[in-house]
Amino acid sequence: MREQHWVFGYGSLIYKVDFPYLDREVALLRGWSRRFWQGSHDHRGTAESPGRVVTLIQDEDALCRGVAFLVEESVFEHLDHREKNGYERHSTKLHLEHRDETVTGTFYIATSDNPAFLGDAPDSELAKHIAHSQGPSGSNADYLLSLANALRDIGEHDEHVQNLERHLLALKQAP
């Protein structure tokens, strides 16, 4: 039997599942908040004009809801390539909602000391940045809107993502 691992998705891994998996569960990660603070020059932007994608920021009181996938060890070759540009693997405890079970899992984060980290800004500025960014994987706006929809599909209310979505939609409707 091949070695199996849980991988936690909190961004595009929720809605863009381009890897084989054995099981999928809504999962909770304690102590982390999702933020659009990581630059993307390889997917949702370019080297000259990076887009913004999510990473996790330590936040003792936070609860981040996403999706955990049970995968075979071989999937990490693909995920490590996909999650390059400043992301690193970390091990954590995940709570699988429907099983009411805690498991050890892996998640990818981009910390503030990586060269692509862009950091915090007011939501209105983040939304403008996202609205104007485009990369090999498509528009940065599509990334944000797809993530917002995917979070709604799993019943997650993420204030940061929803605020950015509101700002982005207002920009799109402005004359």
CATH code of the region 4-173: 3.10.490.10
Mean pLDDT computed over 41-61: 94
Name the percent of the chain lying above pLDDT 90: 93
The pLDDT of residue 1 is: 53
Q: What share of the chain is helix, strand, coil (3-state, %, to 5)?
A: 30, 40, 30
**Which pairs from 159-164 meet CB under 8 Å and 24+ separation?**
160/33, 160/34, 160/35, 160/36, 160/123, 161/34, 161/36, 161/54, 163/123, 164/36, 164/123, 164/126, 164/127, 164/130
Summarize pLDDT for 72-95 with one digit per residue, the tens.
999 999 999 999 889 999 999 999
Active site residues: 83
> If you search the block for the tokens 């939609």, which residue do you land on?
169
pLDDT in tens, 110-156: 999 999 999 999 999 999 999 999 999 999 999 999 999 999 999 99
Q: Supply angle C-alpha 168, 51, 14, rounded to 5.
A: 75
| The pLDDT of residue 174 | 76
In this structure, are residues 64 and 35 in contact, taking their beta carbons and an 8 Å threshold?
no
Contact 26, 65 (CB under 8 A): yes
Domain range summary for the chain, segments of one domain joined by +: 4-173
